[in-house]
């Protein structure tokens, strides 16, 4: 109850800040959404993976749902910190499922990938209760969340969902990838080595095989859902080439996709005009795929 009250206060604060007369969408948002926090969707290694649901109270029919996965290099971050990234979709009347998952300190790779696939299964199984339209599930995230969005949308046919067995096809309608990792082995050694990637794989003897297994770049096929990638060309945390190579591979496979390059953009923190352009591109892309 305290969490729900706190979230309502946050939404009301957004609605009352910045100007004396708040925009109409913020007033509607503050009053029109039901919040169900910290739902346990999976228990593995004595760890409860949880998610939050935000949904329109008065929805007469199933609504599109955004599955948001936070970043943090698979070893940091939280769904609570990432909440505001979901606002553009809430403002459009979508439902949002904000996902937490096992970080590296709880379980090494591929645990985070497994958890996010389980979160997708939870959304599909609980669609009736929360009025989710399972034909309009969009998965998104930033950085490691971008990577997990790609694996959630592209690896549903692999055996990585065995932690939550079921018969439902694990399919999404589109992926919005914000500067996500696409080639995990590239970050383990050499010029692009990143400590967060090394920590996520640990010292497992088969780490190279696992890294490849959870790399979206090696799972591109004609069956992949539409993908839009936003990536800064000066990113040193996740190299810009990760987005370029994914774009090229998807195009070669005949998959609808788009690469939105942020000139001079680093690892997020884009200027307002570039961010506005990115969201304009995102919603135009989703409209093209029948989701907006």
- Residue among 277, 227, 275 at smallest CA distance from 248: 227
129 has pLDDT over 90: yes
pLDDT of residue 142: 98
Q: Mean per-residue pLDDT for 201-228? A: 96
What architecture (CATH level 2) is domain 34-288? 3-Layer(aba) Sandwich (3.40)
Q: Mean per-residue pLDDT for 249-254? A: 98
- Spell out the residues 6+ positions from residue 107 whose beta carbon is closer than 8 angstroms to its own: 44, 45, 47
Instruction: Please state, in angstroms and rounded to a whole number, the distance separating the CA atoms of residues 194 and 86.
Output: 27
237 has pLDDT over 50: yes
Domain spans, the chain:
34-288
Confidence band of 12 (pLDDT split at 50, 70, 90): low
The 10s digit of each residue's pLDDT in 75-126 is 999 999 999 999 999 999 999 999 999 999 999 999 999 999 999 999 999 9
pLDDT of residue 162: 84
Instruction: Please state, in angstroms and rounded to a whole number, the distance separating the CA atoms of residues 123 and 181.
Output: 24
The 10s digit of each residue's pLDDT in 163-206 is 898 999 999 999 999 999 999 999 999 999 999 999 999 999 99
User: Looking at the whole model, is its pTM more than 0.85?
Assistant: yes
**Gyration radius of the chain's alpha carbons:** 18
């Amino acid at each position: 109850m305290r969490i729900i009250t706190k979230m309502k206060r946050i939404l009301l604060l957004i609605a009352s800040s910045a100007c004396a007369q708040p925009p109409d969408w913020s007033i509607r948002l503050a009053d029109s959404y039901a919040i169900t926090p910290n739902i346990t969707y999976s228990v593995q290694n004595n760890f409860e993976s949880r998610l939050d649901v935000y949904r329109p109270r008065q929805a007469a029919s199933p609504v599109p749902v955004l599955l948001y996965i936070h970043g943090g290099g698979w070893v940091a971050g939280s769904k609570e910190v990432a909440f505001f990234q979901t606002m553009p979709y809430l403002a459009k009347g979508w439902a949002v499922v904000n996902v937490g998952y096992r970080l590296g300190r709880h379980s090494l790779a591929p645990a985070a990938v497994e958890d996010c696939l389980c979160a997708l299964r939870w959304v599909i199984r609980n669609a009736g209760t929360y009025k989710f339209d399972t034909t309009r599930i969009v998965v998104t995230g930033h950085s490691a969340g971008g990577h997990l969005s790609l694996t959630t949308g592209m690896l549903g046919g692999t055996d990585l969902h065995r932690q939550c067995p079921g018969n439902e096809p694990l399919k999404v309608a589109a992926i919005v990838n914000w500067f996500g990792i696409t080639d995990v082995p590239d970050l383990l050694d050499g010029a692009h080595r990143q400590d967060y990637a090394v920590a996520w794989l640990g010292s497992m003897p088969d780490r190279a095989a696992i890294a490849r297994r959870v790399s979206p770049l090696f799972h591109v096929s004609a069956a992949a859902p539409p993908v839009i990638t936003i990536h800064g060309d000066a990113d040193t945390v996740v190299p810009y080439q990760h987005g370029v190579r994914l774009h090229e591979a998807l195009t070669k496979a005949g998959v609808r996709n788009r690469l939105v390059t942020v000139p001079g953009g680093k690892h997020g923190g884009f200027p307002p005009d570039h961010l506005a352009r990115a969201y304009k591109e995102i919603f135009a892309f989703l409209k093209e795929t029948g989701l907006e």
